[in-house]
Amino acid sequence: MPHIHCFAPIEDSRSTVLILGSMPGKASLQAEQYYAHSRNSFWRVMGDLIGAGTALPYESRVRRLKSCRIALWDVLNSCTRKSSLDSDIDESSITPNDFISFYRTHPKIAHVFFNGAKAEACYRKYVLTSLSEKFKSLQCQRLPSTSPANASLSYEQKLRAWRIVAQLTGRGDNKKVRKRTRIKP
């Protein structure tokens, strides 16, 4: 099984929201881009919420996240996994990312959202116990996974749950968001 590593975070010193996945899948690792699998709905959701959809080049989507004060990272720094499925992660191979340093250099982070159950479970098991009380008190919430493996919810149900991200970044007015998505980068 291959030993894989995560990407550097997409972040800005002004970030107030942190979205955490577990570990990039094969398509993402090959493309060297977060959520690169064509059937993963993360960028479609971000397009509908903040104008960072797949119609934009990847670097423009990244800039849009940053401008909306959204940071993006993975809970795991490295692990061994035989496929792209979270269920295939070898628990004994997990090394978490350094969240103590991350939170110290990003003091404005107030809300942490997990893109699915595995990200939340790994954060609670491998990260939360190492954090100071200050960082343990961050608002944390699991959102439905945008992975194509999460077929139990429709796109509309996922989008409804993810709206909280737009609301917390001041992008909760969907009419304005739809207009922004039509603007060329």
Q: Which residues are designated catalytic?
A: 40
Strands 139-143, 76-80: pairing kind: unpaired
- Is residue 65 packed enough to be buried (19+ CB in 10 Å), middle (13-18) or exposed (0-12)? buried
What whole-number distance in Å separates Cα of residue 148 and Cα of residue 86?
Answer: 12
Task: Please tell me whether residue 96 adopts helix, strand or coil conformation.
Answer: strand
What's the rounded Cα separation, in Å, for the pair 31 and 67? 23
**Token pair in block for residue 87:** 């269920």
Q: Please, are residues 42 and 144 in contact by the beta-carbon 8 Å criterion?
A: no
